[in-house]
Amino acid sequence: MDATTAFVAAFAVTAAGGVAARFLVRAGAAPAQPVPDGSAWRQTHQRRAATYAEFAEPADQISHILETWPALPPAARQPQRVAAYEHLQTLGHRHGAVLLDGGPHVQAAAQQLRDECERLVRGLDLHAPPGPVDESVRGLSMPFLRACREYLDAESERHFGLRRPAGRSLFARLAR
């Protein structure tokens, strides 16, 4: 082998070794990508679901009072009215947690539910004529719960790659 060929061969081997070493060093020195912590997301997800359920609970109590209001005797209406105002106050206190923990659609649905409950409770008339049970206010919180479910389902799909199986809901206990 003549000197020129030996030089070119040595240069090629050295260059190839340098390129390979460079790739190995870059591969080993690459910043490690953080592994998403599924348990942290699940805890956040469950906390949000609990926050939404807690917010809907006083609205459901108000809905029940409004539903039975016409059928109550006039003497029993004042304590129910006081209870409705207490539930309205609880709803107001829990509203802040929903605003911090929800997306824009959940926040809008929560505000709408709070406004509707306030309007209906303030409209309770102690001297209204008796009548049948008013079923039109049943499910007052359902639009809010639907918005919550859509938000939580989208979050699950985005972070966990999971879709909620049809027929299963995080709010099954409230939908009864």
Q: What is the dihedral of CA 144, 148, 154, 159, to 10 degrees?
A: 160
Specify the pLDDT at position 13. Answer: 56
AA letter at 154 = A
Judge whether 174 and 64 are in contact, CB under 8 Å.
no
* Residue 143 pLDDT grade (very low, low, confident, very high; cuts 50, 70, 90): very high
* Residue 90 pLDDT grade (very low, low, confident, very high; cuts 50, 70, 90): very high
Q: For residue 28, what are its two tokens?
A: 């080993």
Collapsing DSSP states into helix, strand and coil, what is residue 1?
coil
What is the pTM assigned to this prediction?
0.69
Stretch (H or E) spanning 152: helix 142-160
* Residue 128 pLDDT grade (very low, low, confident, very high; cuts 50, 70, 90): confident
AA letter at 70 = P
AA letter at 158 = R
Residue 175 pLDDT more than 50? Answer: no
Range with lowest mean pLDDT among 16-30, 42-56, 77-91, 113-127: 16-30
